[in-house]
Structure 1
Amino acid sequence: MTHTITRDDRMTGPEPAPAGPPVAPPPKLRRRPALIAAAVALVALGAVLAGWAWSATTNTQEVLAARDTIARGAVITSDDIARVRINADPALQPLPASAYDDILGQRAALDIAAGSLLTEAATQAEPLPPDGMSVVGVALTAAQAPGLTLRNGDRVRVVLTPGEGADAPTGSPPFNEAEVVGARTDKMTGALVVDLLVPRAEAGVLAARVATGNVALVLDSGER
């Protein structure tokens, strides 16, 4: 027997699923020109700063400078000098940091102020005393020394003074001319100790006069 499909049979079947909520469209991205411009400016600024830092680094040099004041004639030690970095300048001719070991043990050829750059003219390798000269130390009280601060290179005279109740000395010249090559205060006694450069032939006479304590130092001219 043949079954005939009727209209009702065609309408019979599973019911369609109910429709869900409508899908919202994706949000549109908003461009912000101000933020983009700011980002570009930051990138450009970073490039400029990097270039400046590179230039500043490549245009500097490491040289030698004085930590503290170095008196003329003083032996230069590691406590006196330091390596510093400065901007390169063709007008300056400081000693490079590579000369550090060579400078140690040399003497200052002139007074070097603290913070000054060292140059070849600022140091000398000649020993002190030079040939034919001697150094004699003189310990002086405040009454025996000049009122001005003594510096290396000052020209002075060591003058004989009479002892208590004695007359002025006679005979040999009552003074010795000398050059100051060092001056310091003795922390134990408070006396001013002055190193004097004199001809070797006069060193013995000067030392004998100094030993009596009856001397005074007269400043004639100074390196000021």
Structure 2
Amino acid sequence: MRTSEKPVGRAPVNAERPGAQPGLSGPASRKLPVPPRERKPALAALALLLILGGALATTLLVLRSGDRVAAIQITRQIGAGQQMLVTSMREVQVAGTDIDYVAWADRERVAQNFARVTLLEGTLLTRGMVVSTSEELGPGKAIVGLSLKPGQLPITLDVGDRVQVIYVPGRGGDAGTQSRILAQSALVHRMRTSNTGAPTGQLAVIVDVKDAPAITTYASSGEIAVAELPGAR
């Protein structure tokens, strides 16, 4: 028996659109419409203003950074009530601000005045830190010199510090004699230091006049010690 084989047929080709894909016809083969891009002139103007504002601010900062003045910086601690010294000042350049810094040109006049509060090293001097009169060096006060040995003063002591002046009885004193405070809050007025900056034991302190005789007496016999009061500046 003879069997006839039928040739496999090909998919029909769209006669109207020869390049079209099989199975797609009509609207399905078309691209979806894209909506036109919306323009926002207000946002563009705002962005431009922000860019211009940033450029202007940068320019002002650069110009401001060059506007500097010569001011006074404290190079060594000055205690409250102590006289200002030119040797304890140096010239520094600071940005011009509304802060009332004392100009370096006024250093000689500043040296005729006194510190209102304790001025630490590195302080930029303002006019509110200086007074024309000193309670520490005024009537009712006395400057007493001390010559102390190691162990009779702290190695951290500096000019402008507050100290207690203490009577420490020597070995040859009465057995019943006890140490006592002679001055509750004396001010270190001057002090000698070694090459390393440590105190040598030679210092002058400001005390009340009524305490000066006893301190002088005990200091001459080496029966004086001082204790620093770091919280009493």
Same topology, TM > 0.5 = yes
Say whether the 8 Å CA contact 1:157–1:220 is kept in structure 2: no
Q: Which residue pairs with 1:36 in the alignment?
A: none
Say whether the 8 Å CA contact 2:166–2:181 is kept in structure 1: yes
| TM-score, scaled to structure 2 | 0.57
- CA pair 215-81 structure 1, distance change in 2 beyond 3 A: closer
CA–CA separation in structure 1 for the residues paired with 2:155 and 2:194: 19
Aligned counterpart for 1:212 among listed residues 203, 221, 225: 221
Q: How does 1:30-49 map to 2 (within 5 A)?
A: none
Q: Which amino acid aligns with 1:145?
A: L
- CA pair 55-220 structure 1, distance change in 2 beyond 3 A: closer
How far off is 1:119 after superposition? Answer: 0.9
Q: Bigger CA drift: 70-79 or 194-203?
A: 70-79
CA–CA separation in structure 1 for the residues paired with 2:230 and 2:64: 46
Q: Bigger CA drift: 115-124 or 73-82?
A: 73-82
Establish whether residue 81 from structure 1 lines up as the match of residue 89 from structure 2. yes
How far off is 1:218 after superposition? Answer: 3.5
Count of residues paired in the alignment? 170
Q: Which amino acid aligns with 1:184?
A: M
- CA pair 219-86 structure 1, distance change in 2 beyond 3 A: closer
Say whether the 8 Å CA contact 1:156–1:221 is kept in structure 2: no
Structure 2, unpaired ranges of 5+: 1-55
- CA pair 151-115 structure 1, distance change in 2 beyond 3 A: closer
CA–CA separation in structure 1 for the residues paired with 2:230 and 2:65: 47
Aligned counterpart for 1:197 among listed residues 188, 206, 213: 206
Q: Bigger CA drift: 175-184 or 57-66?
A: 57-66
**3-state SS of the aligned residue for 2:86?**
coil
CA–CA separation in structure 2 for the residues paired with 1:191 and 1:86: 36
Q: Which amino acid aligns with 2:112?
A: G
Q: Which residue pairs with 2:34 in the alignment?
A: none
**3-state SS of the aligned residue for 2:232?**
coil
Percent identity between matched residues is 14
How far off is 1:205 after superposition? Answer: 2.0
Q: Which residue pairs with 2:119 in the alignment?
A: 112
Note the alpha carbon deviations across 1:116-135, whole angstroms, 9 max, x for none. 31112323332552111112
Aligned counterpart for 1:175 among listed residues 172, 181, 187: 181
CA–CA separation in structure 2 for the residues paired with 1:147 and 1:83: 29
| TM-score, scaled to structure 1 | 0.59
Establish whether residue 72 from structure 1 lines up as the match of residue 79 from structure 2. yes
Q: Which amino acid aligns with 2:213?
A: G
CA–CA separation in structure 2 for the residues paired with 1:158 and 1:78: 33
Q: How does 1:28-177 map to 2 (within 5 A)?
A: 55-56=63-64, 59-66=67-74, 68-73=75-80, 74-90=82-98, 92-127=99-134, 128-146=136-154, 148-149=156-157, 152-162=160-170, 164-168=171-175, 170=177, 174-177=180-183
**3-state SS of the aligned residue for 2:138?**
coil
Provide the alpha-carbon RMSD of the alignment.
Answer: 3.5
- CA pair 120-143 structure 1, distance change in 2 beyond 3 A: same
